[in-house]
Amino acid sequence: MPQLDIDLLEDFLFFAFAAFILGFGDEESEENVIERSCEAHLAQHFFSSSKALSGEVRLVATSPAAVILLK
């Protein structure tokens, strides 16, 4: 029985070392992926909102009521 434990430990260490050498486990963490996608979504929302607001400002500025009030 003790020999089996040593063999399992040796196998584990071999595969852990091989994974370390080959770079397994270097993927992005789930938190980083979520954070980056949230930032991208917020940036896209900001740009679409600013475009919509600039369009509304232009519409209000060119309306007849605004022209009368500005004179």
Containing structural domain, residue 59: 2-70
Q: What does the pLDDT look like over 13-56, one tens digit per residue? A: 888 888 777 766 656 677 777 888 899 999 999 988 888 888 88
CA dist 18 and 14 (Å) reads 6
Counting the structural domains of the chain, the total is 1
**The pLDDT of residue 24:** 66
Q: Which long-range contacts (CB under 8 A, 24 or more apart) does 26-35 make?
A: none
Residues 6+ apart with CB under 8 A from 66: 60
